[in-house]
Amino acid sequence: MKTFEGYRRKNGSVGVRNHVIVINTVGELAGLTKKLAQLVPGVIPVAHQAGKAQYPEDLEQTIRTLKGTAGHPNVSAALFLGMGENDPAEEIVSFLKSDGHHVHAITFQKNKTITDVLKEGKLWLEKALERSRNEKKETADITELIIGLECGGSDAWSGITANPAIGACSDAVVRDGGTSILAETTEAIGAEHILANRAINPNVGKKFLEIVKDYEDRIKDTGEDIRSANPTPGNMAGGLTTLEEKSLGCIKKGGNSTLMEVVSYAEKPTEKGFIFMDTPGYDVESVAGLAAGGAQIVLFSTGKGSPTGSPIVPVIKIGTNPRLYEIMSEHIDVNAGKIIDGMNTIDEIGEEIYLKVMETANGAFTASEKHNNQEFAIWRLAETI
């Protein structure tokens, strides 16, 4: 049985990183979040523009994402910056503390200057960082690992090389007792029946088909048709011709395992095995949802060399073609283009990806981490009020 060395949290989860973060609850504090992190080298800012002027379903999703991000097993400690009497920072911190997380909230009030807040925040973060450095790793089983499956900047080779190789890795992780989460609802439109037929029971299959239809209907309500908007100009430049062609390639990241559960954006699975998460096609928001849902590592295929990363989870980039790897090897962790060159089979590249997953789980840095690619955004379902 495969094992890795990770950080055991009080709630029993295991992290493959040990970050200390500062995160804002409302967009007005994004700049100060970054400023405070700069005062304590080693602290990661998780800044975003959400949290205010949102419809109830959006606010609920924002809070769920914030909880999942700060309470992620890769996070040793989190400081929330909130603003105003009705800010959710204190409520979120109370919830996370009850689950054993090391968190704290500072709320901007009329009796606190910005200087006061920065001073208080700096002191707390310094102590949290020192505490994190004393935390020790312990051996964890592969059954405690969750990987997210994502793609960005697909080309005509995505469904032939990188995505099926990721699928082979996903199947292997599931066979070993781990969990994989396939994201991007838009990338299933036109091929949704294939995944639905792999559902463990009719209810799971029905739920999956419903979220795909709901997504497409919401887009139609804006006057747009995703079937004409996809593939994107970038996808078409890479050789993709239809939405169905793109979707058939994208769902290959999910391999052939049984679909055990369908979860909402940033929602943690209750089942092990192969899971689908309702996320947008925009990779930054999708990766944030996967991370908030508990994925400790994300596999990300790309035909364009997208450098998208994450503040809290390592993102492993799998390039689709030899030319991409030749030009952008500094941003690519695994070259699936070797399949085109006849150097490796899909299963062999799948094994290489799995090896990279285990190396990453044991502390090896990914290319996106080396380049400090720490993009973060929360999916919004409706317009700003």
Query: Is the same domain home to 109 and 240?
Result: no
3-state secondary structure of 86: coil
Q: Select from 78, 113, 134 the last residue of a domain.
A: 134
In a domain, 186, yes or no: yes
In a domain, 145, yes or no: yes
Tokens linked to 70? 């700060």
Query: Is the same domain home to 105 and 151?
Result: no
Query: Is the same domain home to 158 and 261?
Result: yes
In a domain, 381, yes or no: no
Query: Is the same domain home to 328 and 281?
Result: yes
pTM of this structure? 0.94
In a domain, 348, yes or no: yes
In a domain, 378, yes or no: no
In a domain, 11, yes or no: no
Read off the CATH number of the domain in which 86 is found: 3.40.1400.10
Q: Which of 82, 115, 162, 113 is nearest to 325 (CA)?
A: 162
Query: Is the same domain home to 362 and 216?
Result: yes
In a domain, 67, yes or no: yes
Residue 63's domain comprises: 19-134
Whole-number pLDDT of residue 155: 83
In a domain, 380, yes or no: no
Query: Is the same domain home to 125 and 33?
Result: yes
CA distance 288 to 48: 11
Q: Select from 80, 112, 134 the last residue of a domain.
A: 134
Q: Which of 176, 151, 173 is nearest to 353 (CA)?
A: 173
Q: Which of 167, 163, 148 is nearest to 315 (CA)?
A: 148
Q: How many CB atoms lie within 10 A of CB 229?
A: 13
pLDDT tens digits in sequence order for the chain, 385 residues long? 799 999 999 999 999 999 999 999 999 999 999 999 999 999 999 999 999 889 999 999 999 999 999 999 999 999 999 998 889 999 999 999 999 999 999 998 767 889 999 999 999 999 999 999 999 999 999 999 999 999 988 888 889 999 999 999 999 999 999 999 999 998 888 889 999 999 999 999 999 999 999 988 888 877 776 665 555 555 555 555 555 666 777 889 999 999 999 999 999 999 999 999 999 999 999 999 999 999 999 999 999 889 999 999 999 999 999 999 999 999 999 999 999 999 999 999 999 999 999 999 999 999 999 999 999 999 998 888 8
Query: Is the same domain home to 63 and 187?
Result: no
Query: Is the same domain home to 251 and 329?
Result: yes
Report the first-to-last Cα separation within the chain, whole angstroms.
51
Whole-number pLDDT of residue 3: 97
- For 47-175, strand residue ranges (E) read 75-83, 102-108, 138-141, 146-151
Query: Is the same domain home to 117 and 261?
Result: no
Query: Is the same domain home to 203 and 286?
Result: yes
Whole-number pLDDT of residue 383: 82
CA distance 329 to 319: 9
Query: Is the same domain home to 78 and 222?
Result: no
Query: Is the same domain home to 165 and 309?
Result: yes
Q: Select from 110, 134, 158 the last residue of a domain.
A: 134
Read off the CATH number of the domain in which 331 is found: 3.40.50
Q: How many domains does one find in the chain? A: 2
